[in-house]
Amino acid sequence: MDKYNFLELVSSIGIFMVLLLALFLITVKAKHRLSNWLFAFFVFTNAVDALKFLQREFPVNYINLEAFRWSIVYLVPASFYLYVLSVCYSNFRLKPKYLLHAIPFVAYNLYLMWGIYFVDRASKIDFINGMNDMPLMQFFQFLFEFLFQVYFIASFLVIRKSRTVYLENYTNPNISVLNVLYKITILYYVLHFIVLIRWLATFTFGLGEIRAWIVTLDGFAFLFCTCWYLFTALNNPEFFRGVDSELKPITEVVPKQKTSLLPVEEKNKKIKFLKDFMVEKEPYLDSSLTIQDLAEQVEMPVKDLSTLINLYMDKHFFDFVNEYRIEKAMQILKDPSQKELTVLEILYQVGFNSKSSFNTSFKKYTGKTPTDYRKQTL
């Protein structure tokens, strides 16, 4: 089997798997359907772009369709960015303003109307043969690369911000899913980087053997990424619940000068009140506790409570609450009268909803696993 047949085989498998994944995401009943639909559109546009791997020569009988396929790539970075927003923010909804992201796609198709769509076959071929030397085409190529980099950076900033907000305002955040989203974003960039190498090889060496091998690598990478997307979908059927997009990191809400916010005496008084409340009322036993919930219980504005915990106590809300949960778990683990309780029962009892999260937090706080701690204290 030569590399062309190998490329066709690998690409065919990848395209079939992508289309199957897209169909699954569209039809599956899930809580966050918008995220599924956006991801389905993203992988579908990648499958359309991957059709190039099945072409050994230019499809002269389907010039208009091939030209339209070129324009699809202008929707790919934007669709991925919207997908990231939909995963990171629970209150994300599609709005008319998001149609602005389709402007490059529309502009490119308007350009193709003049040169390909509405002209005779001979004119189409002449236009295609000389389009790489046209300043406007070079502009569109530059525009695509510029947009890709902008959307890629924007996606990373959104993920980083949502992670910070999650830790500062929620307990039991599924950070592992955020890490998966990071990996998907990086993988997406790696695919694009291979495309950049292919462009460079074409410019430097022309349509030769080196470019052919890079195209083969590109096709194999496409299949690998498809398998990764499927693996992610199977292991994370429901991405985490997301954060409220109106919430901001504490560094954006308050000044950087801590000492100018509250007098030391007043600050210490509020910290003591909060700690006493946590011990007496045990609000941390609620596994879905958020900073908004706690603010209502202590009758304090959310902004002030967030400042108190994240800035003055120098802790994420996530760590602040989990410390009380761990302390409660430690009391139960060393209590002989409750030795019949399993670790799983204890973690649910103290407010955790994940065994891995409980084990990680417990070891971070005590240096031991829950099981080892129980053995040493009983």
What is the tens place of the pLDDT at every residue in 301-318?
888 888 888 888 888 888
Query: Per-residue pLDDT for 68 more than 50?
Result: yes
- Closest by Cα among 211, 227, 221 to 49: 221
pLDDT in the model for residue 240: 41
- Give the mean model confidence (pLDDT) for residues 358-371: 89
Same domain, 325 and 310: no
pLDDT in the model for residue 58: 80
Same domain, 139 and 269: no
- What angle is formed at CA 372 by the lines to CA 371 and CA 375, rounded to 5 degrees? 90
Which ranges in the chain belong to alpha helices (H)? 3-27, 33-50, 63-72, 76-88, 103-112, 121-130, 135-169, 175-205, 209-235, 250-253, 264-281, 291-298, 302-306, 317-333, 343-349, 355-366, 370-377
- What gap in Å lies between CA 191 and CA 179, rounded to an integer? 19
pLDDT in the model for residue 258: 46
3-class secondary-structure state, position 114: helix
* Residue whose token pair is 């990071």: 182
Query: Per-residue pLDDT for 172 more than 70?
Result: no
Q: Can you name the residues that pair with 290 across neighbouring β-strands? A: 170
Q: Is residue 344 part of a domain?
A: yes
Same domain, 84 and 185: yes
Q: Can you name the residues that pair with 243 across neighbouring β-strands? A: 89
3-class secondary-structure state, position 209: helix
In terms of pLDDT, which residue wins out, 218 or 282?
282
Q: Is residue 68 part of a domain?
A: yes
Domain of 357, in residue numbers: 318-378
Of the three residues 235, 268, 298, the one that is the final residue of a domain is 235
Phi, psi of 173 (to 5 degrees): -75, 145
Q: Is residue 136 part of a domain?
A: yes
- Closest by Cα among 216, 193, 207 to 58: 207
- What angle is formed at CA 186 by the lines to CA 361 and CA 144, rounded to 5 degrees? 145
Average pLDDT, the chain: 82
Q: Is residue 243 part of a domain?
A: no
Share above pLDDT 90 across residues of the chain, in percent, rounded to a whole number? 28
Buried b (16+ CB within 10 A) or exposed e, 204-230: eeeeeeebbebbbebbbbbbebbeebb
- Supply 144's token pair: 């695509």
- What gap in Å lies between CA 262 and CA 239, rounded to an integer? 39
- What gap in Å lies between CA 309 and CA 299, rounded to an integer? 15
- Supply 136's token pair: 């406007």
User: CA torsion, points 27, 29, 31, 34, in degrees to nearest 10?
Assistant: 10
Q: Is residue 59 part of a domain?
A: yes
pLDDT in the model for residue 212: 67
Same domain, 105 and 27: yes
Same domain, 124 and 150: yes
Query: Per-residue pLDDT for 256 more than 50?
Result: no
Q: Is residue 285 part of a domain?
A: no
pLDDT tens-digit profile of 70-128? Answer: 999 999 999 999 988 988 887 788 999 999 999 999 999 999 998 999 999 999 999 99
Same domain, 254 and 354: no
pLDDT in the model for residue 254: 53
pLDDT in the model for residue 354: 78
Same domain, 309 and 324: no
- Give the mean model confidence (pLDDT) for residues 157-185: 75
Q: Can you name the residues that pair with 170 across neighbouring β-strands? A: 290
pLDDT in the model for residue 233: 60
Query: Per-residue pLDDT for 69 more than 50?
Result: yes
- What gap in Å lies between CA 21 and CA 228, rounded to an integer? 11
Same domain, 86 and 128: yes
Query: Per-residue pLDDT for 244 more than 60?
Result: no
pLDDT tens-digit profile of 177-204? Answer: 677 778 888 888 888 887 778 777 777 7
- Give the mean model confidence (pLDDT) for residues 321-343: 91
Q: Is residue 242 part of a domain?
A: no
- Please tell me the total count of domains within the chain: 3
How far is CA 3 from each of CA 6, 194, 208, rounded to the nearest angstrom? Answer: 5, 17, 13
In terms of pLDDT, which residue wins out, 74 or 213?
74
pLDDT in the model for residue 208: 65
Same domain, 152 and 208: yes
Quickly state the pLDDT bin for 30 (edges 50, 70, 90): low
- How would you class 263 by CB atoms within 10 Å of its CB: exposed for 0-12, middle for 13-18, buried for 19 or more? exposed
What CATH number does the domain containing 343 carry? 1.10.10.60
What CATH number does the domain containing 159 carry? 1.20.1070
- What gap in Å lies between CA 365 and CA 348, rounded to an integer? 18
Same domain, 304 and 354: no
Quickly state the pLDDT bin for 234 (edges 50, 70, 90): low
Q: Is residue 241 part of a domain?
A: no
DSSP string of 93-112, one letter each residue: ---GGGGGGGHHHHHHHHHH
Count Cα atoms within 13 angstroms, Cβ side, for 80.
26
pLDDT in the model for residue 131: 87
Query: Per-residue pLDDT for 173 more than 60?
Result: no
Q: Which helix (H) or strand (E) holds 134?
A: none
How far is CA 31 from each of CA 12, 48, 158, 160, 180, rounded to the nearest angstrom? Answer: 32, 28, 21, 23, 19
Same domain, 253 and 156: no
- Give the mean model confidence (pLDDT) for residues 207-223: 69
Q: What is the pTM of this model?
A: 0.71
Same domain, 61 and 156: yes
- Closest by Cα among 13, 10, 45, 39 to 25: 39
